[in-house]
Amino acid sequence: MQSPLRGSTVPPSRRIPSVPPPIASPSPSGRGWRGLLSRLVAVAALVLAAALVGPAPTAHAAVGLTRVTDFGANPGQLNMYVYRPASLPDRPAVVFALHGCSQNAQLYADNSGLPELADRHKFLVVFAETTNANNMSKCFNWFEPADTRRGQGEAASIGQMAAHTVSAYGADARRTYVTGLSAGGAMTSVMLATYPDVFQAGAVVAGLPYGCANDLVAAGRCMSPGTDLTPAQWAQRVRDAHPSWSGPWPRVAVWHGEKDTTVAPRNADELRDQWTALHGLSQKPSRTSLIGPNSTRHEEYAAADGSVAVEVNRVPDIGHATPVDPGSGPQQCGSTGTVNFQDSLCSSHWIAQFFGLTDPVEESGLPAPAGLTVSDPTDTTLRLSWDPVDGAAGYVVHRDGAPLATVDGTSHTDTGLTAGSSHTYAVAARDADGRTGQLSGVVTARTTGGATACWTATNYAHVQAGRATTGGGYTYAKGSGQNMGLYNIFVTHTLKESPAGYFTLADGTCT
């Protein structure tokens, strides 16, 4: 890589290094390059040690995972693995699981206990996996704007996995959840903030609030000693992640070891503040109890209808880890073969219970509507129609994996869309008691318009115009997340916009 002072670009890959290049200015203390570089490396070591794997796991049969390679455009370059129990009901729930640093999907599946819970309660588990190509220590990039915005990078890849799981595996779009450890816990916060229309609830294990950091240095401060904002400030960062969202916010469970020296336990309080504020609740718990064999402190924050919108679980005697409790009992699960899975209580059991996966699902028994088609597209509307279902009192239309509207007839016109935008649709019949039946197959449709636009400018100008974002000193095309090189006034690129709001590098090729 050439000197940043010369304004040259980086290699074409969009992926970022784990440690950013030196900043072309002296350190604030005046001690120069060496002092600054040493501090950046120290911070990098802190961030990338978020969930280092310890000794080799205790010998046990590996969980059988299925690799899925065609789930979407995958702008974040993630891997997708599915755990499917031997038997499943129609439209099973699905839990997305995000591993910690230096881990992978297989290790997380083998030790977290989630597959055991999936076998007991009959739901799918999708393990998203990052790689060394994305981050030197295989951390999800929870602190990089190019990966933490709706429609961009790693966040977009996980969103595409969710849509694919509904269409390819028949998963219930109304029962889609996410959980993760450490960097995966922080990425869980990202998914709840950026895709509240997809994930109904999440569980953050040893993680951090959304919007805590936009670069590596800030990430180190967030992890320890932690960043203190008001509940209103934390809530606004989530609202800014999806400004047009007006639906209900996901329910959130927080899990944190009281002896965690990697991600300070105060982050559990900041997460609580963020999500109770979004739900309009007090930061004082409605109920407090002790759960599990180790007397974990369990705090519930109840909504007006009595349901638990937010819960915080403070686990004694463990550090930076997923709490597990090996055994065959009804509340046991997991393995303690590595340092990041510590013997305590089976957090996956309590997380599944919080998600409602241990409860029977009340369904109407109505079949899925057939014949779903989309017609008459305009720049801002799409018209849907489907065949009637005997016994249906109405229908629920889903767009992009979330309920959109309840209608009486067998057609619906979706309005207010963006020109040149693509959407997925499905529909379910609804009986007289308001219970919905099976979800139909998914169809994809695109609005008209959205003609290609080309923009040639410096990286600085692209960012100022909203066509690109920054992170770690680099510039990334909004939408595609492609690395455009250093954020300065010297590097110039042409960006192609198609569809609206989605930009790709098009130097010398944009027409």
The CATH number of domain 66-355 is 3.40.50.1820: yes
Residue with tokens 């499943």: 88
Q: Where are the domains of the chain?
A: 66-355, 373-446, 453-505
HEC string of 359-400 equals CCCCCCCCCCCCCCEEECCCCCCEEEECCCCCCCCEEEEEEC
Please tell me the distance from the alpha carbon of residue 467 to that of residue 244, in angstroms, as a whole number. 19
Q: What is the mean pLDDT of residues 76-87?
A: 94
What pLDDT sits at residue 401?
A: 58
- Per-residue pLDDT of 407-416, as tens digits, reads 999 999 999 8
- Dump pLDDT digits (tens) for 465-498: 778 887 778 888 888 889 999 988 889 999 988 7
* Catalytic-labelled residue, pool 18, 102, 137, 182: 182
CATH 2.60.40.10 fits 373-446, yes or no: yes
Query: If you search the block for the tokens 């303690």, which residue do you land on?
Result: 336
Cα separation, 474 vs 74, in Å, equals 21
| Percent of the chain's residues with pLDDT above 90 | 59
* Distance in angstroms (rounded) separating the CA atoms of residues 162 and 191: 11
Q: Give counts: helices (H), strands (E), the chain.
A: 10, 26
- Local structure of 251: helix, strand or coil: strand
Average pLDDT value for residue range 429-447: 81
Lowest mean pLDDT among 41-45, 174-178, 396-400: 41-45
Q: Is residue 264 predicted with pLDDT exceeding 70?
A: yes
pLDDT, tens digit, for every residue of 293-317?
Answer: 989 999 999 998 889 999 999 999 8
Rg (CA), the chain: 23
Mean pLDDT of 397-425: 81
Q: Which residue has the tokens 């805590």?
A: 212
Question: With 60 as the cut, is the pLDDT of residue 10 above it?
Answer: no
What is the mean predicted confidence (pLDDT) over 20-46? 35
Q: What is the pTM of this model?
A: 0.68
Distance CA 66, CA 75 (A): 21
Alpha carbons 321 and 182: distance in angstroms, whole number: 8
- Told to judge if 480 belongs to the known catalytic residues of this protein, a careful annotator would answer no
Which segment of 47-61, 270-284, 367-381, 403-417 scores lowest on mean pLDDT?
A: 47-61
Using the predicted structure, report yes or no on whether residue 146 has a pLDDT greater than 80. yes
